[in-house]
């Protein structure tokens, strides 16, 4: 078993970013040494802080699949032995600066109304998201995705997305924001990391479980053996995976739903 999980409104609650309701399931996962892979829209800096609180040491996926972070020596002792860092980030696609340059170019042609993270200061981000100012500073340290809030018409959003796609960028939707990136996603990054596990431990049966709540989680859920759709924390309808062989829809949101789905799976796999 290997578990890939979204953070916001999935393992962490939508308002307070708290995971205590899932603590029992987290303990069981740790006891059975099941790799728990965070697969999030958050930055390296943010995810690193959450990882410390969760007390887990596995590789993790950041910014909607635009990067994978490998702790030094995780798959082999000599891995990254030549670096002084505790982990190495493997990035896919364009850099944050490249994305800003494309946005600047589009703005010169047509000025749409939206607010992106680069324009927002930490105080404003904290107000919109409920993060603390310190956490908002970590959220601004971005590698390859730009979140934005759309304040223009739906028609103009379609045109804006088309303009970004003409420049080989891709737009997906998280809990509160749209996210611009290269055509990376949580599913491709999950499969990349899964191959690393299969190569390192070829005799294990790597059945994948993925948990998420928002459209940016679709590629990860679609590519997992077992998909867990967490009930939305807002008025939105739950994600719908019509052609997936195995989906669990939770009836509780956030970490309560996470705990609920895990209890069901622990029973099924006779894990106590
Ligand atoms: C952004 O991501 C969430 C993910 O669902 C969203 O779109 O609402 C990210 O930019 C992340 O860095 C940040 O921590 C989060 C805060 O709510 O928002
Ligand atoms: Mg989420
Ligand atoms: Mg997310």
Q: What is the pLDDT of residues 180-202, one digit of tens each?
A: 999 999 999 999 999 999 999 99
What are all long-range contacts of 264-270, with beta carbons under 8 Å and residues at least 24 apart? 265/209, 265/226, 266/25, 266/28, 269/1
CA 117 to chain centre: 17
Identify whether residues 82 and 203 lie together within a single domain. yes
Indicate if ligand 1 lies below 6 Å from the C-beta of 64.
no
Ion ligand 2 contact residues with beta carbon within 5 A: 6, 8-10, 175, 213-214
3-class DSSP state of 211: strand
Q: Enter the pTM of the model.
A: 0.96
Please name the helix (run of DSSP H) or strand (run of DSSP E) that holds residue 254, with its range, or none: helix 254-268
pLDDT the model gives residue 80: 58
pLDDT, position 67: 97
Ligand 1 atom with least separation from CA of 128: 17
Which residues, 6 or more positions from 111, have their beta carbon under 8 angstroms from its beta carbon?
none
The CA–CA distances, whole Å, from 16 to 11, 103, 130, 211 equal 11, 31, 7, 19
Query: Quick one: what percent of the chain has pLDDT higher than 90?
Result: 94
CATH label of the domain that carries residue 209: 3.40.50.1000
| Centroid of ligand 3 to alpha carbon of 175 (angstroms) | 7
Structure tokens at 68: 């994978």
Q: Whose CA is nearest to atom 12 of ligand 1?
A: 42
Identify whether residues 9 and 88 lie together within a single domain.
yes
Question: Does the CB atom of residue 214 touch ligand 1 within 6 A?
Answer: yes
Residues 21 and 43 in one domain: yes
In the annotation, is 6 catalytic?
A: yes
Q: Is residue 188 part of a domain?
A: no
Q: Which domain holds residue 253?
A: 2-92+197-268
Give me ligand 1 centre to Cα 43, in Å.
9
102 and 174 fall within a common domain = yes
- Is 49 in the same domain as 129? no
Decide whether any atom of ligand 1 lies within 6 Å of the 178 Cβ. Answer: no
Question: For residue 232, is pLDDT > 90?
Answer: yes
Q: Which of 190, 180, 175, 185 is nearest to 226 (CA)?
A: 190
Q: Is 254 in the pocket of ligand 1 (CB under 6 A)?
A: no
Q: Are residues 86 and 208 in the same domain?
A: yes
Q: Are strands 60-62 and 178-181 parallel, antiparallel or unpaired?
A: unpaired
Q: What is the pLDDT of residue 20?
A: 98
pLDDT band for position 82 (50/70/90)? low
Q: From 11, 177, 218, give the residue whose CB has the most ligand 1 atoms within 8 Å, as the site to mutate.
A: 177
Is 150 part of any domain?
yes
Q: How many domains does the chain have?
A: 2
| 135 CB near ligand 1 (under 6 Å) | no
Distance 108 CA to ligand 3 centre (A): 31
Contact 232, 213 (CB under 8 A): yes
Asked if residue 191 is part of any domain, the answer here is no
Please tell me whether residues 88 and 101 are part of one structural domain. no
- Nearest 5°: phi and psi at 129? -100, -20
Q: Regarding predicted confidence, which is higher, 82 or 265?
A: 265
Pocket test for ligand 1, best of 125, 133, 139 (most atoms within 8 A of CB): 139
216 and 83 within one domain: yes
Tell which residue, 209, 175, 173, 171, has the closest CA to residue 190.
209
Q: Residue 104 falls within a domain, yes or no?
A: yes
Sign of the alpha-carbon dihedral angle for 59, 63, 66, 67: negative
Same domain, 130 and 173: yes
Q: How does pLDDT run across 132-182, given as a tens digit for each residue? A: 999 999 999 999 999 999 999 999 999 999 999 999 999 999 999 999 999
Q: Where does a domain end: 181, 212, 234?
A: 181
CA 142 to ligand 1: nearest atom: 12
Domain identity same for 86 and 202: yes
Q: How confident is the model at residue 76 (pLDDT cuts 50, 70, 90)?
A: confident
Residues 105, 82 share a domain? no
With a cut of 60, say whether residue 81 has pLDDT above it: no
Cα angle value 69/73/74 (rounded, 5°): 60
Closest CA to 209 of 25, 12, 23, 50: 25
Q: What is the DSSP letter of 39?
A: B
What percentage of the chain exceeds 70 in pLDDT? 97
Tell me if 250 sits within 8 A of 260, measured CB to CB. yes
Asked if pLDDT for residue 84 goes beyond 70, the answer is no
| Bridge partner list, 248 | 228
CA–CA distance, 116 with 125 (Å, rounded to integer):
10
User: What integer pLDDT is reported at residue 87 of this predicted model?
Assistant: 85
**Of 153, 181, 209, the domain-final residue:** 181
């Amino acid at each position: 078993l290997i578990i890939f999980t979204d953070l916001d409104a999935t393992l962490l609650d939508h308002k307070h970013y708290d995971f205590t309701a899932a603590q029992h399931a987290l303990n069981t996962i740790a006891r059975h040494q099941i790799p728990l892979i965070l697969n999030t829209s958050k930055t390296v800096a943010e995810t690193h802080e959450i990882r410390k609180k969760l007390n887990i040491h596995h590789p993790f996926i950041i910014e909607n699949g635009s990067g994978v972070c490998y702790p030094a020596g995780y798959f082999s002792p000599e891995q990254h032995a030549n670096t002084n860092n505790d982990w190495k980030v493997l990035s896919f696609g364009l850099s944050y600066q490249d994305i800003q340059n494309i946005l600047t170019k589009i703005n010169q042609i047509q000025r749409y109304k939206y607010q992106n993270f680069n324009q927002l200061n930490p105080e404003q981000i904290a107000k919109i998201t409920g993060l603390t100012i310190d956490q908002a500073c970590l959220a601004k340290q971005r590698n390859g995705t730009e979140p934005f809030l759309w304040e223009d018409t739906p028609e103009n959003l379609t045109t804006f997305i088309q303009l970004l796609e003409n420049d080989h960028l891709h737009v997906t939707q998280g809990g509160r924001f749209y996210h611009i990136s290269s055509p990376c996603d949580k599913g491709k990054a999950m499969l990349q990391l899964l191959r690393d596990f299969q190569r390192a431990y070829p005799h294990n049966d790597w059945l994948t479980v993925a948990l998420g709540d928002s459209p940016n989680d679709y590629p990860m859920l679609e590519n997992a053996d077992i998909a867990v759709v967490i009930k939305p924390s807002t008025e939105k309808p739950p994600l719908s995976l019509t052609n997936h062989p195995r989906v669990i829809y939770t009836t509780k949101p956030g970490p309560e739903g996470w705990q609920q789905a895990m209890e069901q799976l622990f029973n099924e796999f006779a894990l106590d």
